[in-house]
């Protein structure tokens, strides 16, 4: 059984982020639309838990605990032996499991093109949503103008 190939952290961070930020329904639809789904075994069944979110005093100072967020995690192993993990905000078990499978696929050279067919459109959708929000925000930017005031004669 081949060991899990060593994938650099940076590209992996990118697709794990995309998978986590995607809407559960989008992820499920993309998975269901896959021409060929690889076989896999669940190493860690999707588990719902929490992560404590932290902020910084004044935005930049010492850390403090703000409150928790729900998170679901899962781990899978493809038939090829490559393992993948999913850590996604919320309580959607299927979202976490699919994210883990896609993570493993992205690490497998032969399955990667198939997985990119899921990750890339999800990223595009996120960028489009972000862009739309940024355009709406820009439309609410205040244009200051100075009123021309005529002063009366000095009293």
Give the angle subtended at the CA of 39 by the CAs of 108 and 16, to the nearest 5°: 45
Stretch that binds another protein, among 31-39, 81-89, 114-122, 146-154 (CB under 8 A): 81-89
Which distant-in-sequence residues (6+ apart) come within 8 Å of 109 by Cβ? 5
Spatial separation of the C-alpha atoms in residues 103 and 92, rounded to whole Å: 17
Site size for another protein (CB under 8 A): 54
Using only C-alpha atoms, what is the Rg of the chain?
23
| Residue 29, CA distances (Å) to 48, 86, 92 in order | 21, 17, 14
77 near another protein, judged by CB under 8 A: no
Residue tagged 């993570």 (tokens)? 103
Output 16 or 118, the one with its CB closest to another protein.
16
148 near another protein, judged by CB under 8 A: no
Q: Pick out residues in 13-72 that bind another protein (CB under 8 A).
A: 13, 16-17, 20-21, 47-71
Per CB under 8 A, the list member of 26, 31, 34, 89 interacting with another protein is: 89
Q: Which chain residues interact with another protein by CB under 8 A?
A: 9, 12-13, 16-17, 20-21, 47-71, 73, 75, 85, 87-91, 130-142, 144
């Amino acid at each position: 059984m081949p060991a899990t190939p060593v994938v650099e952290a940076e590209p992996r961070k990118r697709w794990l982020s995309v998978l986590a930020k995607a809407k559960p329904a989008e992820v499920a639809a993309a998975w269901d639309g896959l021409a060929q789904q690889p076989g896999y075994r669940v190493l860690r069944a999707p588990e719902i838990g929490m992560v404590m979110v932290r902020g910084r005093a004044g935005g930049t100072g010492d850390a403090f605990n703000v409150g928790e967020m729900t998170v679901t995690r899962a781990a899978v192993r493809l038939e090829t032996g490559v393992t993948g993990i999913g850590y996604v905000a919320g309580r959607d078990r299927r979202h976490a499991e699919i994210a883990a499978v896609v993570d493993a696929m992205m690490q497998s050279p032969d399955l990667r093109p198939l997985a990119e067919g899921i990750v890339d459109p999800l990223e595009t959708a996120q960028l489009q949503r972000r862009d739309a929000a940024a355009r709406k925000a820009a439309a609410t930017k205040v244009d200051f103008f100075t009123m021309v005031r005529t002063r009366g004669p000095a009293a």
